Amino acid sequence: MEKEGRIVEETKDLIEQRREKLDEIRKFGVEPYPHKYEPTHSTSAIHQDFADIEEKPDETETIRVAGRIMTKRDHGKSSFAHLQDSEGKIQIYVRRDKVGAEPYKIYRRFDTGDIVGAEGTVFRTRTGELTVLVDSIELLSKSIRPLPEKWHGLQDKQTRYRQRYADLIMNPEVKDVFLKRTQIVQAIRDMLNAQNFIEVETPVLQPIYGGANARPFTTYHNTLEQSLYLRIANELYLKRLIVGGFDRVYEFSRDFRNEGMDRDHNPEFTMLELYQAYADYIQIMELTENLIANTAKTIHGTTKIPYQEHELDLTPPWRRLSMVDAVREYSSIDPTALSADELYKAAVDAGIDLAGDETKGKIIAELFDTFVESKLIQPTFITDHPIEVSPFAKKKPEDPEFVERFEFFICGMEVGNAFSELNDPIDQRQRFLEQASSLEAGDDEAFMVDEDYLRALEYGMPPTGGLGIGIDRLTMLLTNQYSIRDVILFPQMRPES
């Protein structure tokens, strides 16, 4: 606490010094926050266009570059500095005899963190560094708050998440993660568009939440005098579009679930959901593995990627394993050989905390969560889930206690979920009613009956395969980041003390 207090006081002193410099700059008649500046080159363009230049400045071409001063070394009548823009860094060399005496006095009042525009010619120093010899330099934004000292001021993860702007300034590798995230989304979009999927938008504010088992965030619409919910999933709206005749649809949706926060959960997150008419979960499985493999290849040039201590191989085909077989393999408990009571006893003996009213299907799901999930390192499809935990999936014709559903896991994380979608409105109503009963009994992750969705199904929905992929978790894997907070620009945080 004593160290933190000292840092706060030192920062206040530095801010006051910078404010004094700001006043001095204004006294020179300079506006420290001008309206615009027009660079001719980015830093990366300078490095590319002048890669072959030698020590003598190229006086045939004057360039203009803008960026933030990251380092500044004053040497009496000259100064070196490094400017950083969105693409990289470039060194500038400012000399009093080149820019003029008064502009140089003003420049001496610039600090690291200030954003400037510099005009000049490009040369290479004797040490080989490409540099702009400045003819004129302009202050574009005076930084009142000093930049964090990289190795001490930004070590704390919580500070980096709260002050992402400072994190991005000081740590170029962080920016690279988010550039890759954009590329991941674009690669998925390009592949789906090439397969005749169309991108749509569905409501974030919903009068009835559904499509997943989760607690919603609740808000209130004053004009309608009605409670509304931030969507927990966009599934039911996308399937309405399948009913309406759009055979292949997808959406990158912001979803909100009123749940805890940990390594792979944030209450606000991004999902890709897609639906394909006339397909079942087997076809969606093939689409999924090809979609992920193609995205990895686009980002990394290969389907073999590192993640933490593992080497992942995303090359199709992936392993496929039913949930029952997975429980049997990883827990040595065979659900098919036991009655519901025997399975309950086996689960309790294995250390699972159960309420006592769970169905056999729910116990199987609990056994899977406890014994299997964390062990699935290489990409694996877990198929054929119990009907009790899958309210929107079609029953397996040969075994109606299970449904045509898969989740896929990589490095112990569930990354996606898919169904052969239930399109029987009578069966769907019954499952809605079971969910509503669970809700009344105190299950705050169950959901209400959606009469409009049932009405849509009554018009007829073709056989359909659906898929949801967690974009945040996929980005974690493809950028080798341990926590979901490292791939969300502004993750949810507890209030600052």
pLDDT in tens, 44-95: 999 999 999 887 766 779 999 999 999 999 998 999 999 999 999 999 999 9
- Whether residue 7 sits in one domain with residue 115: yes
Across the chain, mean pLDDT equals 94
- Whether residue 279 sits in one domain with residue 233: yes
Is the residue at 162 inside a domain?
A: no
- Whether residue 122 sits in one domain with residue 18: yes
Q: How far is CA 460 from the centre of its chain?
A: 36
Give how many domains the chain has, as a whole number.
Answer: 2
The residue among 151 and 361 whose pLDDT is bigger is 361
CATH number, domain containing residue 418: 3.30.930.10
Q: Is 441 exposed, middle or buried (0-12, 13-18, 19+ CB in 10 A)?
A: exposed
pTM of this structure: 0.93
CA–CA distance, 293 with 445 (Å, rounded to integer): 33
Please report which helix (H) or strand (E) contains residue 238, including its range: helix 235-244
* pLDDT of res. 92: 98
CA–CA distance, 234 with 254 (Å, rounded to integer): 9
- Whether residue 181 sits in one domain with residue 38: no
When pLDDT is cut at 50, 70 and 90, the band that residue 443 belongs to is: confident
CATH number, domain containing residue 122: 2.40.50.140
Is the residue at 210 inside a domain?
A: yes
* pLDDT of res. 439: 86
Is the residue at 369 inside a domain?
A: no
Look at residue 409 and tell me whether its pLDDT is greater than 70: yes
pLDDT in tens, 327-340: 999 998 999 999 99
- Whether residue 129 sits in one domain with residue 97: yes
pLDDT in tens, 156-208: 788 899 999 999 999 989 999 999 999 999 999 999 999 999 999 999 999 99
- Whether residue 38 sits in one domain with residue 104: yes
Question: With contact defined as beta carbons under 8 Å apart, do 55 and 124 qualify?
Answer: yes
- Whether residue 214 sits in one domain with residue 119: no
Q: Which residue's structure tokens are 């959606």?
A: 450
* pLDDT of res. 444: 83
Beta strand pairing call for 198-199 and 78-85: unpaired
When pLDDT is cut at 50, 70 and 90, the band that residue 467 belongs to is: very high
Q: How far is CA 26 from the centre of its chain?
A: 42
Q: Once rounded to an integer, what is the mean pLDDT over residues 341-361?
A: 93
Of 480, 179, 181, 174, the closest CA to residue 311 belongs to: 480
* pLDDT of res. 6: 61
Is the residue at 334 inside a domain?
A: no
When pLDDT is cut at 50, 70 and 90, the band that residue 154 belongs to is: low
Report the greatest alpha carbon distance in the chain.
Answer: 91
* pLDDT of res. 2: 53
Of 270, 266, 195, 182, the closest CA to residue 478 belongs to: 182
Of 151, 116, 102, 107, the closest CA to residue 43 belongs to: 116
Q: Residue 130: which domain range?
A: 2-147
CA–CA distance, 428 with 456 (Å, rounded to integer): 11
